[in-house]
Structure 1
Amino acid sequence: MAPYDSEDTVGATRDEDARTGRRTAARYAVPVAVVGVAAVTIGLVPALADSGDPDLPKISAQQLVEKMARSDVQRLSGTVKISTDLGLPDLGGLEDVLLSGARGGSGKDSGDGSSADPKDRLTELVSGTHTLRVAADGPDRQKLSLLERGAEYSLIHDGKDVWGYDSKSNEVYHSTAPASGKDHRAEAPATPEDFADEALKAVDDTTSVTVDGTAQVAGRDAYKLLIRPRQSGTTVGAISIAVDAKTGLPLKFTLTPKSGGAAVVDAGFTQVSFARPAASAFDFTPPKGAKVTEEKDADKAPEHTPERGGRPAGGPDGPQVLGKGWTSVAVIETGAEGGLPTGSQGGDLGGFLGSLGDPVSGKFGKGTLFSTRLVNALITDDGKVYAGAVTKETLVKAADTGK
């Protein structure tokens, strides 16, 4: 039973029909962000500073969640900004090499890959501030464009076709969308709506949910939903979701860490329209002279992967999960005994990786712990990975217990 706290406390579960109803809302192609060795989905959309506190009818937290569940926005266009601050060090481009290697050399510098492959390009959203343009016309037409200095990367879904186009290199990547009626997200969620969806899945008796006043986002009146963990041991401080008062669509998503400081994720619309986008917005023909790469069957993600919205790799049913609620920890068996090749064992790269992590030991044995402002990951010498939005102490305790 999920507690929805407002001025009048209400404890109730969300209406299942309403929740499934909003699954039909428009989706966008999105990025897969990788933190250390833990694959972390970070779909984001721009944040606009609140420009006023509109006077809206009083609403309870449960009513606001149900309003979000009933939202069925099929058409929209807008501009979004994405700011992500995980506290990762500047790797000077090395992250591209690491991500490419993790995918078996399919990166844009591997020789046989494409700079237009969304699995490579959209990982750029894992850090820094970016501007996107998004458009959607039902479940079979979406477009996302990442605006860069003097260039643009676009990901277009039009019916059975998915196109990625990098204007800087004039390269095109083409793949086939899932069958009609299925979820058409090419990667991870990329709007406040999708991100809010994931946050609401965490709502249970370990969570406090309240209405935290009103705001204006992208010129629209909105209610603010505040989600706070009741548990200690998590790195999550609070999640704030600005919900459009008229449509129920999340317009802004902000995640702040318990440690304080800048938001880890600040995503919200700066401009949005619910008018039907022009059909030409989704038309795409490879430009003359462009290099076109066709997705191979072997490159397509299996059913249960983050790319397909399934569970992370680690077995037919996903990784083992230790703990409950906000302090849950995923355990992945890599099969690579010996731990991380650091120091002289891993050459220059090993020495660099070793400098980013801290050696730890416990009942589980020995390993290396990597930290960000949100996610901590422990790689043990016997080939296991423990990862979660938990403190270092909670992570090591989970590894000891799991052992």
Structure 2
Amino acid sequence: MAETRKASRFIVPVAVAGVAAATIGLVPALAASGDPDLPDITAQQLIEKIAASDTQTLSGTFKISTDLGLPAFGNLMSGLGGGEGGGSSADPSAKLTELVSGTHTLRVAADGPERQKLTLLDGSDEYSLIHNGDDVWAYDSKSNEVFHEKAPEGAGTPEEKDVPKGKDVPTTPKELADEVLKAAGDTTSITVDGTAKVAGRDAYQLVIKPKQAGSTVASVKIAVDAASGTPLKFTLASVEGGKPVVDAGFTKVDFGKPAASEFTFKAPAGAKVTEGGAEKAAGEEKLPEEFEKGLGDLEKSFGDFGEGMNVIGEGWTTIAKLDTGAPAPKTEEAPKEFQGLLDSLGDKVTGKFGSGTVFKTKLVNALLTDDGKVYVGAVTKDALVDAANAGK
């Protein structure tokens, strides 16, 4: 178990890369075709149209294509928390992380704030996440396992519609658009760039770009349904070029009311059913003592992120700074299975601040200095180094 405890010190830099994926969440991808002739509209009018949209019902198919520029993690992390207290393979908190890389096809259905369904198609296997009233169900056909938990209090508010409850991630192009528009201000350029055909529907193209130098975001493009104002497609491009970080949109969409049967669920015969609360308790009881101690050491070393964090800059180039008070772990001290991954994610850097490593993705980068300071943001490596130099 000593190796497990040692490995826990290196979870943080690997997890930093995962933060970029977590912030993206579930998003669909689709190539649009055709340029419909639509009445002229200003960016302000289109933003107001999005804000006024109130799509309560829909069903359709979408694809998600995500490229964070990360190497394949494989089963690297599974051994750290698995084993005796491994939990259910149908648990959404673990299953939906598969969407942070590659291309996936999903089906979605929504009927107001109380009923939503998301199905991930993976070859002949399916994974379904269903919110129906007070219940959240998840089913993994590959393992024939079911996960069930009660929807949290307040899950039926209009602001949270279209999301399988209990999972705090954006799941539709509209939610992604809302998150981006919240950050729009003097640091942002917003324009309308023509029209498009998405899932057979006429749409306007809203283009959002940072005005500031140093952001990893080149642009965000949102295709907005001309009739309803519902975002149909979402594309996030990186300054690195190449494939978009996120390319998202419906391939098929219908705004009619789905059948009630879409949201009913009964565990298949022979399926293993895990209750969310019971799983948590079992995990706490069965977590190996030495691994638990390793996590405690990690928490003590890195302190309270909420209390120790400072914010540098604003808008698209905001950087979070944290002083852990402990020297950063050295790559050569990491377990062998971590060394190659850390080297592929990290670039050694030096400056007035001293030396450190930048752990990089196409969206979120993090600088860990050798003296224990952490700088994280959707900014370039140079921007992180400049911030560390200024904070010396």
Give the TM interval when normalised to the shorter protein.
0.7 to 0.9
Aligned length: 348
Does 2:111 align with 1:137? yes
Instruction: Give 1:53 deviation, angstroms.
Output: 0.9
Q: Pairwise mapping of residues 94-133 of structure 1 onto structure 2 (< 5 A)?
A: 94=76, 96-97=77-78, 101=80, 105=81, 111-133=85-107
Q: Does the CA-based 8 Å contact 1:156-1:163 persist in structure 2? A: yes
Q: 1:22 maps to what in 2? A: none
1:34 to partner: Cα distance: 5.8
Contact 1:43 1:191 in 2 (8 A): no
Rounded to whole Å, the distance in 2 between the matches of 1:355 and 1:51 is 41
Matching residue of 1:325: 315
| 1:115-155 deviation line (CA, Å, top 9, x unaligned) | 01111111111110000001100111111111011211111
Q: Match for residue 14 of structure 1?
A: none
Deviation at 1:291, TM superposition (A): 1.5
Please, which of 354, 360, 367 is the counterpart of residue 356 of structure 2? 367
Segment of structure 1 superposing worse, 155-164 or 289-298: 289-298
The equivalent of 1:170 in structure 2 is 144
1:279 and 2:281 are equivalent in the alignment = no
Which residue of the partner structure matches residue 309 of structure 1?
none
Identify if the C-alpha distance between structure 1 residues 252 and 44 changes in structure 2 by more than 3 Å, giving closer, same or farther: farther
Relative distance call for 1:162 and 1:331 in structure 2 (3 A) is farther
1:8-23 aligned within 5 A: none
Aligned equivalents of 2:140, 2:18: Cα separation in 1: 27
**CA separation of 1:139 and 1:187: change in aligned 2, threshold 3 A:** same
Tell whether the 8 Å contact from 1:44 to 1:266 is kept in structure 2 after alignment.
no
Deviations 1:194-249 (A, max 9, x none): 11111112211011100001111000000000001111111111111000011100
**Contact 2:57/2:256 (CA < 8 Å) preserved in 1?**
yes
SS of residue in 2 equivalent to 1:38: helix
Matched, 1:355 2:343: yes
Distance (whole Å) between structure 2 residues aligned to residue 37 and residue 134 of structure 1: 25
Kept in 2, the 8 Å contact 1:322–1:402? The answer is no
Equivalent of 1:239 in 199, 220, 234: 220
Residue in structure 2 matched with residue 314 of structure 1 by the alignment: 305
Which residue does 2:54 correspond to in 1?
Answer: 72
Question: Are the structure 2 counterparts of residues 280 and 214 from structure 1 closer, same or farther at C-alpha, using a change threshold of 3 Å?
Answer: same
Find out whether 1:212 has 2:201 as its counterpart. Answer: no
Residues 139-172 of structure 1, C-alpha deviations (whole Å, 9 max, x = no match): 1111111101121111111111111111100111
Shift of residue 366, structure 1, vs aligned partner: 3.3
Corresponding residue for 1:401? Answer: 390
1:267 matches 2:256: no
1:377, 1:386 within 8 Å by CA — same for their partners in 2?
yes
Unaligned runs of at least 5 residues, structure 1 = 1-32, 301-312
* 1:309-328 alpha-carbon deviations (Å, 9 max, x no partner): xxxx8226x94321111111
Q: 1:63 and 2:37 equivalent? A: no
- Alignment partners' CA distance in 2, 1:372 and 1:282: 37
Structure 1 residue 394: deviation in Å?
A: 0.1
Match of residue 237 from structure 2? 256
What SS class does the counterpart of residue 114 from structure 1 fall into? Answer: coil
Between 259-268 and 180-189, report the one with greater CA deviation.
180-189
User: Which residue pairs with 2:290 in the alignment?
Assistant: none
Give the counterpart letter for 2:370 in structure 1: D
Aligned AA for 2:143?
Answer: S
Shift in Å, 1:110: 5.8
Residue 177 of structure 1, CA deviation:
1.1
Shift in Å, 1:112: 3.2
Moved more, 41-50 or 204-213: 41-50
Question: Could you tell me the percent identity over the aligned residues?
Answer: 61
Pairing 1:192–2:173 present: yes
Distance in 1 between the 2:254 and 2:204 partners?
18
Q: Residue 332 of structure 1 contacts residue 384 of structure 1 at CA under 8 Å; is this kept in 2?
A: yes
Measured after TM superposition, the shift of residue 37 of structure 1 is 5.6
Tell me by how many angstroms 1:192 deviates: 0.8
Give the distance between the partners of 1:57 and 1:376, measured in 2 at CA.
Answer: 41
Q: Which runs of no fewer than 5 residues in structure 2 stay unpaired?
A: 1-13, 282-303
- The reply to whether residue 389 of structure 1 matches residue 381 of structure 2 is no
Cα distance in 2, alignment partners of residues 365 and 38 from structure 1: 25
> RMSD between aligned alpha carbons?
2.4
Letter aligned with residue 58 of structure 2: L
* Matched letter for residue 73 of structure 2: L
Question: Are the structure 2 counterparts of residues 220 and 93 from structure 1 closer, same or farther at C-alpha, using a change threshold of 3 Å?
Answer: same
Task: Call closer, same or farther: CA 1:194–1:346 in 2, change over 3 Å.
Answer: same
Between structures 1 and 2, the one with greater helix share: 2
- Correspondence for 1:12: none
Q: 1:214 to 1:72 in 2, by over 3 A?
A: same
Higher relative contact order (CA 8 A, sep 6+): 2
